[in-house]
Chains A and B, each alone.
Chain A
Amino acid sequence: MKQEPMTSMQRVLTTLNHREPDRVPWFLLATMHGARELGLSIQDYFASGEHVAEGQLRLRAKYGHDCLYAFFYAPIEVEAWGAEVIYVPDGPPNSARPFIDDADTITSLTAPCVEKSPPLAKVLQAIALMKTRVGDECPIIGVVMSPFSLPVMQMGFGPYLDLLYQQPELFARLIQVNEDFCVAWANAQLAAGATAICYFDPVSSPTVIPASQYAATGLAIAQKTISRIKGPVATHFASGRSLPILAEVAESGTAAVGVSCLENLAEIKAACRGKLTVLGNLNGIEMRRWQPLEAEEKVRTAIAEAGSGGGYILSDNHGEIPWQVREETLLAIGEAVRRWGTYPLAPARCDGR
């Protein structure tokens, strides 16, 4: 008798438990493509939680992936702190000039109230609407910036690195304010209906700070923060490397890790097996010029390297599919997941296929 396919939720939970579901789950982390589905500009699309909820539902109906993604755009958090966001017609909204420009600002800094913030309210509305539509059939992924990475948008990357290395007391003060905000923001999304939280932490990546500094900085902050978040957490390094710190990442309280296409996926899977679910690692920048056959080959290779035994979710490596990626490419990726990702996986052939 043919078995019923799992729901997306069952598929994802099974792989998170390091067992093989019916097929490899696929997270299409597309933020802007919903605007196309609704025939709206990117700016108009993000003006309403209703738009984003509807956009996410239409994307899932079209591509058949296994999550709804409540991520609007990276600077929405600093927008809640009063910063300006710049919209462009062909890319994600971008943070404008940083709003922290001196020590006094940090000393007197207070976090915005999540419940009273109009930009954050849009996200909570989108999550609640999505939850109403899918219930427990499909995971809804909420997003926070880690307290350690948010300062890049709050004060600019260079000044933040200066602070990190030269003003430890002010650094600690900023992180504490950010930690409280991060926890409140994550828990508000969970209360609205998010299934799990994606904790973006690119500054913790060895691409940005030395791996030897992770334990004392990004890891310590993640442990404190994640322990206060009332739901499952996945850590994402937004294209940054993670292989040298994966053993420590597994101690942070996170269940999954978003990994980079700059590293070998098979090595990452070996380091994570049984401890962390691997999320990744298709190259979103190259994806905009992939033809369907190339997309299929990339998916097949990723699944061959990381799919066995569960503990793997196919995704891009950045957590945001570029606007320039075409519909036919995303359709090809979805088709390839269904073709090559059905368990038990086909053994690798000697011709590599």
Chain B
Amino acid sequence: MTDYSLQFEQALLSLDRLSAKKLIRQAGTELTAMEIVDRMVVTALSRIGESWERGDAALSQIYMAGRICEELVDQLLPPGTTQRKDQPPMAIAVLDDFHLLGKRIVYSVLRSAGFELKDYGRVNVDELVDKVQADRIRILLISTLMLHSALHVREVVARLQPSGLDVKVVVGGAPFLFDDQLWLKVGADAMGHSAAEVTGIIATLMGGLA
């Protein structure tokens, strides 16, 4: 079988939407839609994310790559299709500020990997807790850019605990990158250094859910 993932990664890094689409089409002669997602899309996005962690790729490339992949995967696996992943209810939010880029990237990566998730946009602690309880969310991803917002995750965790919902909280964003102990301090279950890690984190957390 041809390994298209490196070519696909290069197309994404060059923001070459047409080549990326062509490679997906070619791979479709050998692979199922879900195999394309797992072997090409997730692999390429993970490598680009890892490059960003090393300082070898830029945020703009991750963002644009995520957007391209999200569009391509929506064509391969339309929302709601039974081929998409069997998963617990999942949501993503930005806590307390209007810096939405990190959330947008993670949202794109997860949808590109075949997950469905609710996008709560920008919310405060009260709004977030209410939405999670109403939707009976089991995996909650919280993105922050500002330190004070990151510290408010602790309040979200504390407010969700008595609800009886076993909600796993995953955090990401600049404050957590610059202080590798912060995610523990706020009571999160996991922290993503980049969007590259998020699919692996979700898989691990899904294994631990009751």
Give the interface of A toward B (CB within 8 A): 86, 88, 90-92, 94-98, 156-158, 161-162, 164-165, 206-211, 213, 239, 241, 243-244, 261-263, 283-286, 288-289, 322-324
Give the interface of B toward A (CB within 8 A): 15, 52, 55, 57-61, 63-64, 67, 96-101, 104, 146-149, 151, 174-175, 178-179, 181-182
Closest 9 CB pairs of A and B: A91-B148, A157-B101, A285-B178, A285-B179, A90-B148, A210-B58, A208-B59, A322-B147, A209-B60
Known: A92-B146, A165-B60. 19 other contacts (CB 8 A): A88-B96, A88-B148, A90-B151, A91-B149, A94-B146, A157-B101, A161-B60, A164-B60, A165-B64, A206-B55, A206-B58, A208-B58, A208-B60, A211-B58, A239-B174, A283-B178, A283-B179, A285-B182, A286-B178
B149: which A residues are within 8 A, CB to CB?
A: 91
In the complex, the answer to whether A207 meets B59 with C-beta atoms within 8 Å is yes
- What's the Cα separation between A72 and B97 when bound, in Å? 18
| Residue from B57, B96, B179 whose CB has the most chain A CB atoms within 10 Å | B179
Tell me the total A-B contact number using a CB cutoff of 8 A. Answer: 84
B63: which A residues are within 8 A, CB to CB?
A: 157-158, 161
Nearest CB on A from B33, distance (A) = 26
B147: which A residues are within 8 A, CB to CB?
A: 91, 285, 288, 322-324
A153 and chain B: residue at smallest CB distance = B98
In the complex, the answer to whether B151 meets A324 with C-beta atoms within 8 Å is yes
B105 and chain A: residue at smallest CB distance = A158
In the complex, the answer to whether B98 meets A95 with C-beta atoms within 8 Å is yes
- What's the Cα separation between A7 and B96 when bound, in Å? 42
- What's the Cα separation between A90 and B174 when bound, in Å? 17
- Could you list 14 A-B pairs, sorted by A, with CB under 8 Å? A91-B149, A94-B98, A157-B63, A157-B99, A158-B100, A158-B101, A161-B63, A161-B64, A207-B59, A213-B58, A241-B55, A263-B55, A286-B178, A323-B147
In the complex, the answer to whether B148 meets A210 with C-beta atoms within 8 Å is no
B97: which A residues are within 8 A, CB to CB?
A: 86, 94
- What's the Cα separation between A161 and B148 when bound, in Å? 26
- What's the Cα separation between A90 and B67 when bound, in Å? 34
| Residue from B61, B146, B174, B178 whose CB has the most chain A CB atoms within 10 Å | B178
| Residue from A86, A91, A244 whose CB has the most chain B CB atoms within 10 Å | A91
A263: which B residues are within 8 A, CB to CB?
A: 55
Nearest CB on B from A35, distance (A) = 14
In the complex, the answer to whether B58 meets A209 with C-beta atoms within 8 Å is yes
| Residue from A86, A92, A158, A286 whose CB has the most chain B CB atoms within 10 Å | A158
* Residues A262 and B55 in contact in the complex (CB < 8 Å), given A94-B98, A94-B146, A285-B182: yes
